[in-house]
Structure 1
Amino acid sequence: MIKHRTVALMVALLLVPSFMVACSQKGGNSDGGVQKADQSTPKTEPTVQKTDYKGGPAELLVLDINSGTTDEQFQKFFQDPIKAKYQDIKLTISRDGLDKLIAAGTFPDLLLVSNASLATVLEAGIPEDLTAMTKTYNINLGQLEPAVVQQMQKLGDQKAFYGMPFAMNYGAMVYNQDIFNKFGIPYPKDTMNYDELLELGKKLTRTDSGTNYIGVMPPDLRQMYWQYGVPVFDKAKGKAFLTSDQHAKVFNQLKQFYSIPGYMEKSNYIHSTDLFFMEQRVAMYPNWIAAFITFFNKAGSKDKFNWDLTAHPSYSDRPGLGKEVDFHMAVVNKSGKHREAAYQVLLSLLSVEVQTQLSKAGRLSVLKNDDIRKAFGSDSDIYKGKNLQAIFKVSPSPLPEASKFDPKINALLNGEVSKNVMVNGTDINTALRNGEEKANKEIVEVAQ
């Protein structure tokens, strides 16, 4: 029962609407760990050894923890491709909580999880190290986005590869061309740093004919720390860590956006996405490229105003690094009875055919393949004629060291700490110090 409560607690803490909690580092393991990427292999086709499945009939339970895979996508990207090759392998998806399945003694064969929440299944002792599998099937990791591979190697402490990435997200910035035209301001460049974005945002934040226009809605404090690679927990000390010069520096960068005259509306410093996608009074909005499809579809506004894309903004002292790395992976249960069948699912997910389908549906491929990237979002036609390739002019930012307490700390940063500075006028250092003290009290309570 203690184990079950521990896992339940981990799930509650980690399964929040956020992503990314670990730091990327280059390189593999020269002592028999994850094989090094072969950069000489062509990009057009992933190197995978074609082997016949001889594992016999297998019914695999797939648990979707937080990959966002819909029933339609599960059938299209998982079930149908496997059924076309192996009639003996059948897949069933579950959306029950991991703690519920474990308590019932029903263990999934495969788990779909974000890199942010891999700690959940690691805590439960589930993932198989796929290093041997990548070698057996000759999977060339050099075919995958480098930031994704580096993140996976970091999560495995450079010794293990605990899941197979199958889809990723990418930061971008969407902007309203009509607002720029209205005020005679040149469109944003394909790549900008936050200082440049701030100055552009100031020019566009104004009131005209009774309408309040906001130049830019910046990321929240949690995301700003992720992108800069600043951790919020010190593992060595086992405590929250929010009071370094870097923490204050990043917060000050964000505060400048919030402090633009006209940005705050009735003490509200976090605005709804409706202001951009429905009301059309926000000029620029950085977020995930996949999220824009959801927002435009929800608002039904993709053709109601003129808009285009640029790369996600970077820090001036970290040029070329955009929004933090974010991806989803398929994890194999090391105790599963049908691991050979599970491997076939992973190989299918990495195929050019399935990766192309994923890309068309609005989920970026993990393969470094320009043709697949160009097909991104084509099923919805939202990005037709848009400057989509601009988003790839920056690379995903490596993530800071992560902990199971991060979601709790991040919620505190985005809520109480940010509000104290922007609404109550507390200075940044004091707000961070108070936030750190409160976080540590809550961490002690959770540990008990």
Structure 2
Amino acid sequence: MAALLVMTACGGKPQGSDKEANTPAESPKPVKLQVLTPGGGNEQWFMERYGKSIQEKYPHFSFEIMENTGTTIQNIVTEKRKIDLIITSFAGYRGQIKPVELSSDMTDLIKKHGFDTNRVEDAYMDMIRNIDGGKVSGLPLYDLNLLLYYNKDIFDKFGVPYPTDKMKWEDLYGIATRLTRNDGGVQYRGFVTSPSHLVMVNQASLGYFDASGEKAAVQTDGWKQYFELMKPLYSMPGYNPTKAMISGNGIKDAFFKEKSSAMFVMFNSDAPKPEDGINWDAVSLPELKTAPGVGAQPYPVFIGVASTSEHRDEAFLSIAHLLSDSVQTKLASDFANISPLKNPQVKSAFGKNVAQWQGKHIAAITSLKPAGPPAYVGEYLPIGQTAVTNAMLSFVVGEKDANTALREAEEEINKKVAEAKAMKK
């Protein structure tokens, strides 16, 4: 845009016309962009990470931030608010944005402004094109990745060697068993992690539907084997799992507050902070024997131009700026964002200026190849994810056997999808 303004002001004028040549370029008109952010993404969050950087390049841009909480999206649709930019997780995009048609295809803007999508890792582009019939209605802003965090003090207390990169899940079981014990009235558990994360971005690329997305497909050998691989981590002597303990805030409390869990799997964004008082480090996610070198599926946060935008060019220029090498390097170094760009120099900047990552094993974050997403990642995927997560919880705590849990999950998925389709008629 800046280049275009300069060309308009100075290009194509008769040479030697001092009056015209010295006429200052007209200042761009101010543009206010309405931005919808994820829950917790308030004005301070947006401006610190993105807004100020955009304004350095486009000082005539300003932003009004709308935090997505509760009924925000429904209110936007009902009130016909003119949103320009949307930032949300892939799950949020799929489950909240697309169903109410707030997303828009940016293919024309990508071409118009010469944005090179080949700079972006293929997995992210495949995800967005998969869900939108080949359209590009969002670009990845950053990614989240699962890591295995561990409390060094608990390992030291019981004289157990620290975990390492590229372990198998079976190796993790052996370590967790040695750390699950009662000592001084405190019940320590070697490993406490929510099945929801192990299901949601599972390394086996297991899905919940057939490729068409029309029918549930979770009564499979793949899911049963995955369930049976994970259950021993929760059922060793002394563990006594409950649903409250291994879901929701229970897993974080065990690791962060009670400091009774030696290891826990969570996204890089959940890394302990200095004020948490934990002597910690991290290694790569344990691997499946059937998929060596493969980590969790991508779980990116996407940014896109809203279908309601009256400033599509300005909104896209903001996105393109945030996906430049220089800005992505700064986001990686200052906010510990995993960059979606292929450039290894950008990726290597992760966490360099973030206190909680100083002296930590940062290489664990990108040491594994992301698992591919399943064939269907459409709008009904959250229904499948919830049903399979609940099935795994029931299996892990001993309420149901794997076959029963998966059969009932499949029945529930088909029922919920039918209800969702009926509501659209």
What band does the TM-score fall into relative to the shorter chain?
0.7 to 0.9
Instruction: Output the CA distance in 1 between the equivalents of 2:243 and 2:165.
Output: 32
**Alpha carbons 2:192, 2:251 under 8 Å: kept:** no
Instruction: Output the CA distance in 1 between the equivalents of 2:421 and 2:145.
Output: 35
Instruction: Output the CA distance in 2 between the equivalents of 1:229 and 1:121.
Output: 24
**Alpha carbons 1:192, 1:313 under 8 Å: kept:** yes
Which amino acid counterpart does residue 217 of structure 1 have in structure 2? V
Per the TM alignment, residue 381 of structure 1 is displaced from its structure 2 partner at its CA by 0.5
* Larger RCO of the pair (alpha carbons < 8 Å, separation 6+): 1
Which protein shows a greater Rg? Answer: 2
The reply on whether 1:439 has 2:417 as its aligned counterpart is: no
Instruction: Output the CA distance in 2 between the equivalents of 1:210 and 1:429.
Output: 37
Q: Secondary structure at the residue paired with 1:62? A: strand
For residues 78-121 of structure 1, give each alpha carbon's deviation from its aligned partner in whole angstroms, at most 9, with x where no partner exists: 33223333333222111252221121121311111222232333
Give the number of aligned pairs: 391
Instruction: Output the CA distance in 2 between the equivalents of 1:237 and 1:394.
Output: 29
Which amino acid counterpart does residue 238 of structure 1 have in structure 2? E
Query: Is there any run of 5+ residues in structure 1 with no aligned partner, and where?
Result: 1-48
The residue aligned with 1:252 is 228
The reply on whether 1:206 has 2:178 as its aligned counterpart is: no
The residue aligned with 2:53 is 81
Per the TM alignment, residue 274 of structure 1 is displaced from its structure 2 partner at its CA by 1.9
**Alpha carbons 2:51, 2:63 under 8 Å: kept:** yes
Q: With the length of structure 2 as denominator, give the TM-score of the two structures.
A: 0.82
Per the TM alignment, residue 237 of structure 1 is displaced from its structure 2 partner at its CA by 7.0
Q: With the length of structure 1 as denominator, give the TM-score of the two structures.
A: 0.78
Instruction: Output the CA distance in 2 between the equivalents of 1:210 and 1:306.
Output: 22
Which amino acid counterpart does residue 49 of structure 2 have in structure 1? F
Query: Is there any run of 5+ residues in structure 2 with no aligned partner, and where?
Result: 9-27
Q: Percent identity?
A: 27
For residues 290-332 of structure 1, give each alpha carbon's deviation from its aligned partner in whole angstroms, at most 9, with x where no partner exists: 1114xx36xx32xx34321111222111122212201112111
**Alpha carbons 1:62, 1:94 under 8 Å: kept:** yes
Which amino acid counterpart does residue 134 of structure 1 have in structure 2? I
The residue aligned with 1:6 is none
Q: In 2 relative to 1, CA 331–266 (structure 1 residues): closer, same or farther, beyond 3 Å? A: closer
The residue aligned with 2:19 is none
Deviating beyond 6 angstroms after TM superposition, the runs of 4 or more aligned structure 1 residues are none
**Alpha carbons 1:377, 1:383 under 8 Å: kept:** yes
CA RMSD of aligned residues (A): 2.8
The residue aligned with 2:34 is 61
Per the TM alignment, residue 165 of structure 1 is displaced from its structure 2 partner at its CA by 1.6
Instruction: Output the CA distance in 2 between the equivalents of 1:122 and 1:423.
Output: 35
Per the TM alignment, residue 235 of structure 1 is displaced from its structure 2 partner at its CA by 6.0
Which residue of 111, 129, 145 corresponds with 2:105? 129
**Alpha carbons 1:62, 1:93 under 8 Å: kept:** yes
Q: In 2 relative to 1, CA 288–390 (structure 1 residues): closer, same or farther, beyond 3 Å? A: same
The reply on whether 1:394 has 2:368 as its aligned counterpart is: yes
Instruction: Output the CA distance in 2 between the equivalents of 1:331 and 1:219.
Output: 30
**Alpha carbons 2:388, 2:409 under 8 Å: kept:** yes
Which residue of 329, 332, 338 corresponds with 1:364? 338
Q: Secondary structure at the residue paired with 1:446? A: helix
Q: Which moved more, 1:206-215 or 1:402-411?
A: 402-411
